A = this chain, B = another copy of it.
Amino acid sequence: MNETIQHLLNHRSVRSYSDKPLSDEQIQGIVSSAQAAATSSFVQAYTIIGVKDPLKKDKLAELSGKQAYVSHNGHFFVFCLDLNRLAIASQIEKAAPEEINQTLASTETFMIGVIDTALAAQNAVVAAESMGLGICYIGGLRNQLEQVCEILKTPDRVIPLFGLSVGYPADGAEQKQRLPFDNVYHEDEYNQDKDQFINQLIQYNEEISSYYADRTSGKRKDRWTEMMTKLLKNPKRLFMKELLRKKGLPLE
């Protein structure tokens, strides 16, 4: 196993950082690595906003569910799906809006943008971790997304998808065991054996329960399926469809 793979397998989310800011060279290395990721038909459908203004960082931390590590870190990135750039490209080419709007409005184009943005972000993460930095994705940035758009002054067709805190780790962070390999990786077709599939999840429940029990002197024993069911029973961010429509992405 080579060093890069060791780094990947060693990933854990870091939620406590020293105050030391990233250097411009580090930021440049991280963003350039993000840009080097593959992109669908060369569209490069994302913009990365680096937030340095401490007031803005505090506001974003508040809006993300009071997560301190959104304001206290070495640097805070926001990864935005960006179809605005493509619209501007078509203006440069003198295309009329009605010639391009169907593509910009489609569910397929939205998927391309989300995938492009996430591929770039994960390259940024690998680059940051290879420098000895820690990271944490901030999905909570979508909790009050409209206000986040206002703070970052994103135009229509630009959607902040998630934040990324990066910095020098202050605390150790624990790694949680992933799903069983065979539950995630199937060969030639989706595993049709539902009993086997369920047994894998029950085996996984035991591993995850032990993980929590070990770390809380037995107070917490959450099963994975229990955690997932709680999530599913509490729908979140149900405004998303309407917000996307308002921002010019009706997902037709």
A42 and B227 contacting across the interface, CB-CB below 8 Å: yes
Return the chain B residue nearest A40 by Cβ.
B139
Return the chain B residue nearest A90 by Cβ.
B229
Main secondary structure of the interface of A (DSSP, over half): helix
B104 and A40 contacting across the interface, CB-CB below 8 Å: no
Q: Which of A15-23, A61-69, A109-117, A213-221 contacts B (4 or more CB under 8 A)?
A: A109-117
Given contacts A4-B4, A44-B178, A115-B118, contact A229 B89 (CB under 8 A): yes
Residues of B contacting A119 in the complex (Cβ-Cβ under 8 angstroms): 118, 121-122, 125
Residues of B contacting A228 in the complex (Cβ-Cβ under 8 angstroms): 43, 86, 89-90, 93
Residues of B contacting A201 in the complex (Cβ-Cβ under 8 angstroms): 85, 88-89, 92
B103 and A236 contacting across the interface, CB-CB below 8 Å: yes
Is A209 an interface position by the 8 A CB rule? no
Is A168 an interface position by the 8 A CB rule? no
Min Cβ gap A191→B in Å is 8
Q: What 0/1 pattern do residues 239 to 252 of A give for CB contact below 8 A with B?
A: 01100100000011
A241 and B251 contacting across the interface, CB-CB below 8 Å: yes
Return the chain B residue nearest A127 by Cβ.
B5
Q: What is the total number of copies of this protein in its complex?
A: 2
A115 and B233 contacting across the interface, CB-CB below 8 Å: no
Return the chain B residue nearest A84 by Cβ.
B190
A111 and B161 contacting across the interface, CB-CB below 8 Å: yes
Min Cβ gap A126→B in Å is 5
Return the chain B residue nearest A48 by Cβ.
B185
Residues of B contacting A152 in the complex (Cβ-Cβ under 8 angstroms): 188-190
Classify chain A's interface size.
35 or more
Q: A214 CA to B43 CA in the complex, in Å?
A: 21
A115 and B237 contacting across the interface, CB-CB below 8 Å: no
Q: A137 CA to B102 CA in the complex, in Å?
A: 25
B46 and A100 contacting across the interface, CB-CB below 8 Å: no
In chain A, positions 174-230 with a C-beta closer than 8 Å to chain B are 176, 178-179, 181, 183-190, 192, 194, 197-198, 201-202, 205, 223-229
In the complex, 27 of the A-B residue pairs with CB atoms within 8 angstroms, ordered by the A residue number, are A4-B127, A35-B184, A36-B178, A41-B139, A47-B185, A49-B185, A49-B189, A49-B190, A50-B185, A50-B186, A50-B187, A52-B188, A86-B228, A89-B225, A92-B202, A92-B205, A93-B226, A100-B232, A111-B114, A114-B118, A115-B161, A152-B188, A152-B190, A154-B190, A158-B190, A241-B251, A241-B252
